[in-house]
Each structure stands twice: as C-alpha cells, then as structure tokens.
Chain A
Amino acid sequence: MDEKQYLYCLMRAGFLGAVAIRKIYEYFQSFSGIFNIEERELKESRLLKERQLRLFLEWKSRYQSCLEEYKRLSARGILFVSMLDEAYPSRLLGIYDHPAALFVKGTLPEDAPMVAIVGARGCSAYGEQLAEEYARVLASEGVGIVSGLALGIDGAAHRGALRGGGKTYGVLGCGVNVCYPSANYQLYESMMEQGAVISEFPPDVQPKANHFPMRNRIISGMADVVLVVEARERSGSLITAELGLEQGREIFALPGRVTDHLSRGCNLLIQQGAHMAISPNDILEYLGVKYQKKLILSEKNIKRLAKKEKMVYSCLDFIPKHMDEIVKESGLGVSECMTVLLELELGGYVYRTAGQYYGKRM
C-alpha cells in the first residue's frame, strides 16, 4: 500500500498537527505504522497526548473512507506532495514545523528565488500600487512571489506578478479547492496557470480564523525574503515577518510616512533592523539576481503631455487627492479640470480611486 495514503488519512483526521505527524513518522519510520499497532503499545509510546489518543482510537475505525477520498484527489486536479517527495519545496523543509504534506493546484516552484509579499488587507491605494509594482518587477526578473491571496496587499502582489509574466504562489487558509475570499476568484484561477495555490489543509476545508496564522508560516517558509508593504502596528503581517525572522529569512520593509498608521508596522521593522526596500532592485541585489536596468520608482514620463495636462499632473500625488484640491491648486474650472483628468486617466497616467479622488500612477 502507498505510504502517502496513510499520510493523507492522518492529515484528514484534523486533530493532528504538523509536528505530531512528523513525530509519528520518526517513531515508526512510516505513516502506516500507527494504524497497525496495539492500543497499549501506542499508549506506552507516549506519541500522542491523551485527547489525541482518545480521538485517534475513535477515528481509527472509520478511516477507510479517507483512503477512498485519497484516490479521487488526482481526478480533482489536486496534487498531494509529501515531505518525502522531491517536489516538496526545499526551503520549507528547513523550518521546524513544516507541514507533512501540501495540497497543490498548479505547479510547485523549482529552485528559483522566492519573495513573500505581505501587508494589510485594508491597505491604501498607494500601498496597493506599490505592492503591485514591486511584484511585477521582481516577477519579470524570474523571482517567484508568494502571498496569501487575501484582499489588499496580497491580492495586489499576485496581480503584479501575473502582470510581470512571472510565477506566483498563493498559500490558502482553507482547502485548495475553496476560493477565499471569493472576490479574488479571477486571481485564484489564473494563479493555477502561472504558479500554484497551495494549502496544508485537505480539500473542502472551510477557512477558519485560526488557519490564517498557520498558513503565514508557510508563506514566509517558502520564501528567501519577506517584504512587508503596509502593516499596522500589531498586525498579521508583522506576525509573518516575525515568523520569517525565526525561520532565518531576510526581512524587507517598505518605508512610509511616520504619521501613517498603515506604515507604522513597516517603519518599526526598519527601526528593528529590517532592510529598507526603496526599490525592487534592493531585493534583487540581495537575492543576487542580475537585472537589466536600474529602476527608480517615480512618476511616468510626462514629456508627451500637453501643457494643461502637465500642469494638472503636477498638482497630483501618489496618494490620491480629492478633485476640489486639484481644482484649487491648478486654478482651472471644475469642468475643465475634469476633462483633463479624464484624459490623463485614459492615458494611464492617473488613476481614480474613490469617486472623485485621483492619484498618480507609477
């Protein structure tokens, strides 16, 4: 019988953590061993805690259905990669509590350098733009982008990587066949073509609050570098950064204005010694990736714009401004200003976030 079948059953049980499963393997040198020993012997081995033992004995009688389930996995397009397989990400293997196996839809990364991009779900338009830009540049240089498929920064990072034509990996807090949040369905779909969605949770498991901190260790564990784009003080993103540190990953943070709550987490990280990611090149340099041109983040080239457009453009900022302000600064009338802004928007120089807020596009 296939060893992986039994591993699947152990993971499916739900009450055994990654470390417990690993210990079981180390004790028996197989996953099937635990199914074949006497209750007394198992008790004496002290492998399982009392509660786990009780649950295990109860569950052991009906684990056969899991075997059936395992056989259907490949038909559902889900790969089951155990830590014994070669395809298992080598960086992940290095961390203490690495999952015994991963469920994957898509293709797992090979040896390319990887960067995890994390940040707030409720991010600013500015942060989102930067996350997308960093991911795009890194991905186009062949760096894989890992993130959590959440709203906000995570989604922007995946989007940027896809746009840059690179590979991107989403680590989920639910089964790989469940798309959460559903708003990111499009990303979820295209990620399977250009990377993979990955989870340690068996298929059909619904997202739960306690799953998310768990998947964070995989995000940082799969990467060489963790980039924090926007994070509040005491946020999930900082937890990921901390996990990354424990795992020996290099932390990069995007500096922000000291007054912005959303940048406070990043600025704190920098204060504590994280690298400052002033441009994507900083990360490329650290990874030792050769890049073609030195990239300085700045506004678009506006040489080709008309005079009035240049003037309105100069009143804008990367942080979106309300049109009233733009009207006042430019000295143009409301209707004229609106005409110019629409032209800039259509030309890709400017984006409109919320109603009448406009910001420069990078």
Chain B
Amino acid sequence: MFSKVNSGGLRGIEGYLVQVEADVSRGLPGFHMVGYLAGEVKEAEDRVRTALRNAGFALPAMKVTLNLSPADIRKEGTGFDLPIAIAVLASYGVVRRQSLTGIALIGELGLDGTVKPVRGILSMVLALEELGIRRCFLPAGNLEEGLVVQNMEICAAHNLQQVVGCLAAPGSVQVETGTKSQETEEIPVYSVDFKEINGQLLMRRATEIAVAGQHNILYMGPPGSGKSMVAQRVPTIMPSMTFQEQLEVTKVHSICGMLPPGRALVRSRPFRAPHHSISSVALVGGGRIPTPGEISMATRGVLFLDELPEFPKSTLELLRQPLEEHRIVISRAQGSYEFPAHFMIVVALNCCPCGYFPDRNRCSCTQVQVQKYLNRISGPLLDRLDICVEAAPVTYGEMRECADNEPSAVIRKRVEEARRIQRERFADTGIFSNSEMSIRDIRIYCRLEEEEERFLKQTYQKMQMSARGCNKILKVARTIADLDGAERIRCSHLSEALGYRELNGKYWGRR
C-alpha cells in the first residue's frame, strides 16, 4: 500500500517541502530508500526499524520502498526519521492515511522511539507555512522555535507512540499556535553594559557614531586599554531588532545548531569574535554542503576581529564582497547558496608589535617593524572602515573607579533616534543607513553650504586627503549631524568626522 507524508528539508538557509513516499508490497523483504540521500539520511533505516520495534509496532516482513521527493535535491539532516517512520506505519495500515493530509512531521528518532530536536526548524516551518500546511508535529525540544511562525498549529512530538496516538484521534491533540511569542515584545538582555566602562570618552563617542550610522570601526591602542571591552558592548547600543531581523538571525542560528534549547527567537544582536586562527571557510561559510560562517552568524550584529594584523590577509580579503553586498553567495556544482551577512565590522589592533607605541619608554619597535606589522592588514579592508579611533592608556584611578557612567540604554535611545532620521531620509531608496550611501547618494544627502564647502576644501588640501577619505568624512559627518538632530552638516560636524579620519599612508608610517 502506498502512503505519503510531508516533511521539511534545508537548503542553505531556506527550507523546502519534502514528501516522504512509502510503499509496502509483497516481494523479497527489505528496506529500500531512494531520493539523493546523504549518509545520515540513509542511516535512518536502522534508526526507524529499531525505533518501530521498540515502540511496540510488530510489522510483518515485507518489501518497503521509500522515496524522498523531490528526488533531485540532496537531503541532509536527521529530521526525516519521524516522517519515514509514520509513512511506513501508514503504508502498513497502522496509521490512517487520511489523517496525514495537510500536516507535516519533522524529527529525529532515538532507538527507543523518542523524538529528538533537530536544526533549522524555523526555516523549514516557515517554508511549510508558505505552502499552505497548517499543522506540524515538531520535536518537543524545538516547540518554542516552531511557535514563532504564525498561522501554524504546532504539536509537540515526544515519542513515536504518542505521535501515532495523536494521529489516530486528532480531536484529542494538544495544539499550540504560533502567535503568542510575538506579542510579548521583550527587551533584549545583554550581560554587559556601557556603564562598566570608565574613561575612554573618545572611544565611547566614536562607537556611538559608528553604531548610529552603521559605520565600520577600528580601535587601536595599547594592550589592556579596553578595546575588546568596548567592542563587546557595541550590540548593547544597537537598536532592537525588528521581527524580520530576528527571524533572519534565528534562522542562521538554528541551522548552525546554536539556538539555546527552549528559546524561540534570538532577540539580542549577535556578537561574534572569531579567533585569528580561523580558516577562510569558517569565516565566510562554505564546505562541500555550504553552511553559514561567522559573518552570517554575526548578521544584524557585530563581527569583532581582535588583533587584526594576525589574521591571514587572504582570509580578510574574503570580507570585501560581503561588506558591500550584505550577503554571501557560495557557489557549488550543485547550485549556489545564499546566506545573509548584514553585519557591522569592528576591528581592534595594537599600534605596534609590542603594543605600547607611542610610549617610547616601553616601546622600542623600529619604524620598519611597525610598518611591517601594520602592512599585514589588507588595504581594501581598511578602506571600508569609516571610523578609526585610538584608545587612551588606562590609569589606575580610572580602572578602579566606580563612576556613574552612561548606561547603554541611554546611548541606544540617541542611536535609535539617529537611525529613525536615516530611515525617513532613505525611505524607498533601498538603503537604510549612512554608511551604505553611494557616491551619488553622498552628493544628494551630504550637500554642504558655502562655508562648509570652503572649510572642507581647505582641509582637503592641507591634509592631503584622498577622494575616498573625503567621502568617508562626509558620510561620518552626516551621521554626526543626525545624532545632533541637525538637517544641515556644519563645520563642527565635519571637523569631528575629520578627527576619526582614516589611518592611511602617513599614519601607518608614523614616527
């Protein structure tokens, strides 16, 4: 007898419908699975057979054929165990076939018949919802994640017998619908806060500007001056994520199996700080079957690269395209996979190999050494860092002080206001923040009055700036003006932006 069960598969970050077709017929007894299956899917045979027996289903020996359709997409993951088991039972007549229409099942099986959580639930359920499926059996451990999706009835699957019982008597099933978790709009909680940072007035201000305009930022300074500390707190002053952003982040985290158990949506902005020994694939994503890398995990949040010169140049070069396009496309023979990469990059480095420059009593690095150290950084990456700021050495008093510093929430308010101004300005242009402005946009939105034009011209000539450097200054000045609530960019905005100007030629070769 033939039966069909709906389930979900993952391709990149997106889910798709997989139909598990089972047929039981007379013939040489056996268990045959087809449909372009990866290793872990083929292993389902043993798990399902044992789980069925241990769950108390004694099935006569017959020829069982299974097909996972569409048969031309490679199936991965362990979520097909449950649908396979139910399809087999339906074909034997244990489960009524009519009870399977319009529902989908996802879950991994243990040998005793328990249903275990799997990765990427959110993407799969979202895809199923779009195709009109209205009821899903999900592993109990993934319940919260599934509940994020609206218009979907979710049933928690604990074990095989319970699922069969539910299918036999649909009226008695305990169903939860995914609407409640969106209503409770909780404020993200971070374990760190800007309150804890004493001093570093300049870094605070620069960070605020960077976040307000989504500018990439570079911190430079002696070891232990608080570069990493400030970087960790960058997400805490970013505006709260919209529902769409939360979905995007949750999808990536779910696929990577990084979602904490029992959590529905990721509400706090991600902060990823890969070590400099990271491989290229781990950074941007990849593998034979592409999976998201650190840049996708950091989407809508912060990618922090500490000790930037230690990163291999070739690895950093890979960041160029994602920084422009906010996504990464990984192409393989089987097709190309797209992952989001809408992150803000924060980098930190020492001023010289020993780190104490310009304190000549502690640093005796020669100019050549410093130059070599700094030359390791890819120039094109530097071009994409709009704000450069140097950390001040920390005094003992500052370190031990319990000062009443400005908390993240207050800074976030100002940032949100500046972002609102930007959203209104860029409505219908396809960009959202000042850092994304193209040269054409800069001409339109960073128009200068006569006085400011004269000021910039004078500075441009005096400081021997480059055209690109000048554009960066204009973008940052626009953000500073937005933070100020000013429509017009003034000289004071320009001169502050100039204070964070790029660390180019002269700077890198400084004495």
Residues of A within 8 A of B (CB): 121-125, 128, 151-152, 181, 183, 232, 259-262, 320, 322-325, 327-328, 334-336, 338-339, 341-343, 346, 353-357
Contacts and interface: CB of A to CB of B under 8 A. Distances in A.
Given A324-B199, A334-B202, A122 B366 contact: yes
Nearest to A355: B390
Interface in B217-264: 220
Closest 10 CB pairs of A and B: A355-B390, A324-B392, A338-B499, A322-B392, A334-B205, A342-B495, A339-B495, A356-B390, A335-B496, A124-B360
Given A261-B360, A322-B393, A339 B492 contact: yes
A7 B17 CA distance: 91
A232 B357 CA distance: 16
5 contacts: A151-B368, A261-B360, A342-B459, A355-B388, A356-B390
B498 interface: yes
Contacts of A262: 360-361
A251 B478 CA distance: 56
Interface stretch (B83-91, B314-322, B503-511): B503-511
Nearest to A124: B360
Contacts of A334: 201-202, 204-205, 496
B99 interface: no
B462 interface: yes
A356 B499 contact: yes
B367 interface: yes
A342 B498 contact: yes
A122 B351 contact: no
Contacts of B496: 334-335, 338-339
Given A123-B511, A260-B360, A355-B390, A343 B503 contact: no
Given A354-B357, A355-B503, A323 B511 contact: no
Best-surrounded residue of B220, B358, B365 (most CB of chain A within 10 A): B358
Interface of B: 199-202, 204-205, 220, 351, 357-358, 360-361, 364-368, 388-390, 392-393, 458-459, 462, 480, 491-492, 495-496, 498-499, 503, 507, 509-511
A188 B365 CA distance: 24
Nearest to A151: B367
Nearest to B365: A122
A354 B390 contact: yes
Nearest to B360: A124
B109 to A, nearest CB: 59
A119 to B, nearest CB: 12
Given A261-B360, A343-B495, A356-B392, 20 more contacts: A123-B360, A151-B367, A183-B367, A232-B364, A262-B360, A262-B361, A320-B358, A322-B392, A324-B392, A334-B201, A334-B205, A335-B205, A335-B496, A338-B495, A338-B498, A342-B495, A342-B498, A353-B511, A355-B351, A355-B389
A335 B480 contact: yes
Nearest to B483: A335
Contacts of A343: 495
B355 to A, nearest CB: 13
